[in-house]
Chains A and B, each alone.
Chain A
Amino acid sequence: MSQGVLAIAEQVDGVFRKVTYEALSEGKRIAGSLGCDLTAVVLGSDVENISKGLGKYGADRILVADNTALKEYMTDAYTNVIADIIGKENPAVVILGATAVQGRDLSASLSARLNAPLAMECVEIRVENDKLIATRPMYGGKIMSEVALEGKPRIVATRPNAMAVAESAGAGSIEQLDVDTGKTVLQFVEKKMETGKIELTEADVVVSGGRGMGGSDYSVVEKLAELLGGAVGASRSAVDEGWRPHSDQVGQTGKVVSPNLYIASGISGAIQHLAGMSSSKVIVAINKDSEAPIFSKADFGIVGDLFEVLPLVTEEIKKLKG
């Protein structure tokens, strides 16, 4: 295993996702263990300018495939182009962020195309002799499994927020690639983005509301989330009630989050919810019921009415921030 680490960047409308820096930083660390170089790949349209910045995260080379046909992520075009690049570069390891927009889909597609092993949603990766061992959650986080990858290239898709971003010097030399998107059938029709919404899986702070919200008025939750620059989450029962969109659901059948701070308000702590947030660094629970299971997982608990407590928390943090 010594032919380099290839990190696939992910950009949406000319902005790299945070997980790109996480994957590059982790890729650099792996390249260090293997004694090889880190090469970044950027696909998109008009992406040369933003690509230069990747040297800061340790990319020795930055391959840029600038093509209007690559403006939006499309499974077929992206798989064709990256499979070609992998064929030429022959990397030992391919690393990318496990996102819904690109990384999970692309890694699965590449794995099948190249008959390459894949560890999805890794939270830890280590090199052991000649082996690459990845730790990844299963059963929505109820189990952590260590998987060994055999074959080439070894593809690791990292879970957003799991790997630390570390700046390190790389030469960062840009190489423009002339790429062929190959045979494609998927047609892009349109994209609708909610502006200013912070993605749950990438947020440093998540404030969630559950059944205790009693309805779709989440303003007390939203205000605190906004003040902390965080995202709003919801329990499954709140989503089932129609109070929040499916994209806000935290848990085994929703999103798994690991923010620095998770505030669960009016959430009792069903096992399928706990699976989705137990890897948060600090958990705060606010619930009327002192017997709620959520308190057994929370670092700090307040027994009380969330509609009284949350606004007070918001005010108190405002004071702190001066």
Chain B
Amino acid sequence: MEIVVLLKQVPATESIVRIADDGVSIKTDDIKWVINPYDELAVEEALRIKEAQGGKVTILSVGTDKTVEAIRTALAMGADEGVLINDPQTQGCDALGIARILAAVLKDIPYDLIIAGQRAVDDDNYQVGTAVAEFLSIPNISMVIKEEIADGKIKCHRSIEGGTVVLEAPLPVLFTTQRGLNEPRYASLPGIMKAKKKPLDTKTLADIGLDSSKVGDAITKINVMQLPPEREGGRIVEGETAQEKVTELVRALHEEAKVI
């Protein structure tokens, strides 16, 4: 089983995000960078499938020099190879642009299964995995919390509002992850040592046959970033007893805020 995991490096969710001077990106100096949490689920699931069925796990990412760390972490968890597309022209890409790059790389990598996070927790686009499947003309199943592979087919449990849907499709398939799929392992010390020697191929857009002057043309373009309106800390409802506080709270919710 040849499995490719689409991985993005993102700011850790505990990061405080500040807007950079250009107004359309964030300040990166104090950021702790991690594997996108949903992609971590993808790495873990790929490793479990490989352990059960044999095969190879390739990590594919579009990023910068820093992204090497994230790929090495995935290799330390147990993935076999990494491919990083590192080209300044990718900076201006929108989600479709990134998906187009990934699809172009995947023309030269064999795969039976592609696993991606449902979304990256920075851009929150929910777009790249699905778009890659569309560009490759393979089935896409999003928000997967359980999968079973047998006889060249995959059965996926999709988490939807208020329930679950089970779908089946012949491989190759791309699916995206939802929390609940698994608990990602930590990289072991021997894993970290081994990862240093695993192949990590870095390529530019030209290397994969894309015209770098066109790839960065976003059709969904960020004009400006703003911080959401700051919520004012409201009042602490005072009272001698819990009952007094609650009476006052319910009165305020009913009469002032008018939400109950």
A108-152 vs B, CB cutoff 8 Å, 1 = contact: the mask equals 110111011111110000000000010011111111111111110
- The 8 Å CB contact of A108, one of B126, B161, B260, is B126
- The 8 Å CB contact of A75, one of B125, B139, B249, is B139
A12 to chain B, nearest CB (A): 8
- Comparing B44-52, B107-115, B197-205, B237-245, the segment that makes contact with chain A is B237-245
Nearest to B37 among chain A residues (CB) is A253
Contact count band on A: 35 or more
- A303–B224 touching, CB < 8 Å: no
A209-251 vs B, CB cutoff 8 Å, 1 = contact: the mask equals 0000000000000000000100000000001000001110101
Q: Within 8 Å CB of A299, what residues of B?
A: 231, 234-235, 257
- A300–B242 touching, CB < 8 Å: no
Nearest to B138 among chain A residues (CB) is A185
- B164–A191 touching, CB < 8 Å: yes
Cα(A188)–Cα(B180), bound, Å:
21
Nearest to B125 among chain A residues (CB) is A120
Q: Within 8 Å CB of A261, what residues of B?
A: 253, 257, 259-260
- A302–B231 touching, CB < 8 Å: no
- The 8 Å CB contact of A312, one of B38, B140, B246, is B246
- A270–B124 touching, CB < 8 Å: no
Q: Interface residues of A: mostly helix, strand, loop or mixed?
A: mixed
With A147-B223, A252-B13 given, is the CB distance from A109 to B233 under 8 Å?
no
Cα(A117)–Cα(B125), bound, Å:
12
- The 8 Å CB contact of A300, one of B38, B130, B249, is B249
- The answer to whether the Cβ of A101 comes within 8 Å of any Cβ in the partner chain is yes
- The answer to whether the Cβ of A173 comes within 8 Å of any Cβ in the partner chain is no
- A320–B139 touching, CB < 8 Å: no
Q: Within 8 Å CB of A303, what residues of B?
A: 236
- The 8 Å CB contact of A112, one of B15, B24, B96, B252, is B96
- The answer to whether the Cβ of B213 comes within 8 Å of any Cβ in the partner chain is no
Cα(A205)–Cα(B252), bound, Å:
16
Nearest to B257 among chain A residues (CB) is A282
Nearest to A295 among chain B residues (CB) is B233
- The answer to whether the Cβ of A178 comes within 8 Å of any Cβ in the partner chain is no
- B11–A139 touching, CB < 8 Å: yes
Q: Within 8 Å CB of A283, what residues of B?
A: 231, 234
With A143-B17, A147-B220, A246-B180 given, is the CB distance from A189 to B166 under 8 Å?
yes
- The answer to whether the Cβ of B121 comes within 8 Å of any Cβ in the partner chain is yes
5 A–B pairs (Cβ distance < 8 Å), ordered by A: A98-B126, A108-B95, A118-B125, A188-B167, A320-B250
Query: Residues on A close to B: CB < 8 A?
Result: 12, 17, 72, 74-76, 79, 98-101, 104-105, 108-109, 111-113, 115-121, 133, 136-151, 185-194, 197, 199, 201-202, 205, 228, 239, 245-247, 249, 251-254, 260-261, 270-272, 275, 278-279, 281-284, 290, 295-305, 308-309, 312-313, 316-317, 320
Closest 10 CB pairs of A and B: A193-B163, A108-B130, A112-B134, A112-B131, A299-B234, A101-B160, A246-B180, A189-B166, A117-B219, A296-B233
Query: Residues on B close to A: CB < 8 A?
Result: 11, 13-17, 19, 24, 26, 37-38, 94-96, 99, 121-127, 129-131, 133-135, 139-143, 145, 155, 159-170, 178-180, 219-228, 231, 233-237, 242-243, 245-247, 249-250, 252-254, 257, 259-260
